């Protein structure tokens, strides 16, 4: 096992990795920027090392600095978490070349799956269903011919990166060339790679992904699916497992395709095969060659610690799990709690948390890297925490999620908690019959946010108390608040 693991990330995922290491008895080293000097993850680690200024390019994306710190700390392994350098093949190679174990898949796999065009080619050759589409676009005339042959509407997508960056939906030929130019420009700015390609745009799809785990001894298993269709601008907002659309027969087919996809690249470590599903058919979307934000859902249903599994596999140990060892029980749902204002087009709202109380009780897990008094910086993703809820079935999970959202108190910054509650309470979401267009198809959710912000909640009680001093004033404030209609 490793002597020490350097965690090349920040926030809740850094804490999550460090917890896994602590249970395995492995010391950890954190890296932090100017913006994270007093962050919880930097305090939680056994050691913490300064990286540089707050901008990511000067800190969490600076490979040379991270490797220098790894040497200084005495670490022999580096865990990249998700985001930042997690799927950067160059970083993985740099780790390998410097004598560190990269806790993730091989750099060759990152290269192959990092290009969506290359990934499509590999999957098609392996017999995994792929959405009808093209290779990288070089000639606009050929692109127009390809789009006509595929059939409108089509999607222009960046070959590199993820998170929906560079995507454009095109309804007809008149929009095509301008959309390609915009997508190429965005892709170049975001990923340093202007390559884009065309895919058939699947109407009203669901986004369903399968978790896979492989070791260097040839063992490869799946741990079931997660439904990730509640998205805004191609960014996931709420996920659940199992998928409400799943049947035993469909699960068997999709799981077989996921394993075939992973085997086609000799996959080692934790990864996720993502599919688009519509009207009984599914197609390969991409492979996330890292730990997913929503990995906790699978952990709740299977009892398998995916981060510990990553570490053991990276150390060369056998997985120690066979497919028949994986059993699913119950239902789980995750809400991504973010510092953003739903009433201002989800604009990020950095600031200092003045009051914080996370929900608790049976079936509740909160993965967080914040605390009362924590200043949320403007430089990084706005994610505050992940609220994970477990229950015996979907009905119990939805009831428990509503209760947990009522209990969650974050004061000092505007959050999306009311929006999450609006989605969970929506009749269409309650039925489980929804697609990736759910949020854009229901603009009334914003009106629900306004109503929910005025409802009674523990957050309101805490806010009522925030400017009081005496016992009598506190009692009066609470009484007045609880009498509100």
Q: Name residues whose C-beta falls within 8 Å of residue 43's C-beta, 6 or more positions apart in sequence.
A: none
Whether 199 contacts 132, CB under 8 Å: yes
Which residues are registered as beta bridge partners of 198? Answer: 156
With vertex at residue 330, the alpha carbon angle to CA 329 and CA 334, rounded to the nearest 5 degrees, is: 120
**Set 10, 206, 251, 290: catalytic member:** 290
Question: Rounded distance, CA 233 to CA 162, Å?
Answer: 12
| Tally of CB atoms within 10 A around 24 | 16
Q: Do 408 and 359 touch, CB atoms closer than 8 A?
A: yes
Q: Which of 336, 335, 331, 323 is nearest to 300 (CA)?
A: 331
User: Is there a contact between 240 and 332 (Cβ–Cβ < 8 Å)?
Assistant: yes
Which two tokens mark 359?
């929900």
Under DSSP, is residue 154 helix (H, G, I), strand (E, B) or coil?
Answer: strand
- If phi > 0 it is left, if psi is from -120 to 50 it is alpha, else beta; for residue 88 that is beta
CA distance 176 to 173: 5
Specify which residues 341 forms β-bridges with. 347
* The token pair that represents 275 in the structure block: 């599919």
For 222, phi then psi, to 5°, come to: -115, 155
Exposure string of 320-338, with b = 16+ CB inside 10 Å and e = fewer, is ebeeeebebebbbbbbbbb
Residue of 414, 302, 295, 284 lying closest to 348 (CA atoms)? 414
Does residue 314 contact residue 101 with C-beta atoms inside 8 Å? yes
Q: Is 290 a catalytic residue?
A: yes
Question: CA 81 to CA 17: how far, in whole Å?
Answer: 7
Torsion of CA 406, 409, 410, 414, to 10 degrees: 30
Q: Which residues contact 312 (CB under 8 A, 6 or more apart)?
A: 1, 319, 320
To the nearest 10°, report the CA torsion of 424, 428, 431, 434. Answer: -100
- CA-CA-CA-CA torsion sign (466, 467, 472, 475): negative
| Positions marked catalytic | 290
């Amino acid at each position: 096992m490793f002597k020490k693991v350097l965690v090349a990330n920040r926030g809740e995922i850094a804490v999550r990795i460090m917890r896994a290491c602590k249970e395995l008895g492995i010391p950890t080293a954190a890296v932090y920027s100017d913006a994270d000097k007093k962050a919880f993850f930097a305090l939680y680690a056994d050691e913490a090392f300064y990286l540089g200024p707050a901008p990511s390019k000067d800190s969490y994306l600076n490979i040379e600095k991270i490797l220098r710190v790894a040497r200084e700390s005495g670490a022999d392994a580096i865990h990249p978490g998700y985001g930042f350098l997690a799927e950067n093949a160059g970083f993985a190679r740099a780790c390998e070349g410097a004598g560190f174990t990269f806790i993730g898949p091989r750099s060759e796999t990152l290269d192959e799956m990092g290009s969506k065009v290359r990934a499509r080619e590999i999957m098609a050759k392996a017999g995994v269903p792929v959405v009808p589409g093209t290779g990288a676009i070089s000639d606009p005339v050929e692109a127009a011919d390809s789009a006509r042959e595929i059939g409108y509407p089509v999607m222009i997508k960046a070959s590199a990166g993820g998170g929906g960056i560079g995507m454009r939906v095109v309804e007809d030929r008149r929009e095509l060339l301008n959309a390609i130019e915009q997508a190429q420009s965005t892709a170049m700015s975001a990923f340093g790679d202007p390559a884009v390609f065309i895919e058939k745009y699947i109407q009203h799809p669901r986004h369903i992904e399968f978790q896979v785990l492989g070791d260097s001894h040839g063992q490869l298993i799946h741990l079931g699916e997660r439904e990730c269709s509640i998205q805004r601008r191609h960014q996931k907002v709420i996920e659940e497992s199992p998928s409400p659309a799943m049947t035993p027969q469909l699960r068997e087919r999709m799981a077989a395709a996921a394993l075939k996809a992973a085997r086609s690249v000799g996959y080692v470590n934790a990864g996720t095969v993502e599919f688009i599903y519509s009207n009984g058919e599914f197609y390969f979307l991409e492979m996330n060659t890292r730990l997913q934000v929503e990995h906790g859902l699978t952990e709740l249903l299977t009892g398998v610690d995916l981060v510990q599994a990553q570490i053991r596999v990276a150390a060369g140990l056998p997985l120690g799990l066979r497919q028949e060892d994986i059993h699913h029980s119950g239902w789980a749902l995750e809400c991504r709690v973010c510092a953003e204002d739903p009433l201002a087009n989800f604009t990020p709202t950095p600031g200092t948390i003045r009051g914080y109380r996370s929900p608790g009780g049976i079936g509740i897990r909160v993965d967080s890297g914040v605390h009362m008094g924590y200043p949320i910086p403007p430089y990084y993703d706005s994610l505050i925490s992940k609220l994970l809820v477990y229950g015996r079935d979907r009905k119990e999970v939805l009831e428990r999620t509503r209760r947990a959202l009522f209990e969650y108190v974050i004061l000092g910054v505007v959050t999306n908690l009311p929006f999450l509650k609006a989605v969970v309470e929506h009749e269409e979401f309650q039925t489980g019959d929804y697609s990736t267009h759910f949020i854009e198809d229901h603009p009334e959710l914003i009106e629900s946010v306004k109503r929910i912000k005025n409802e009674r909640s523990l957050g309101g009680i805490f806010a009522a108390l925030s400017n009081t001093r005496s016992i009598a004033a506190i009692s009066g404030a609470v009484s007045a608040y609880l009498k509100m209609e």
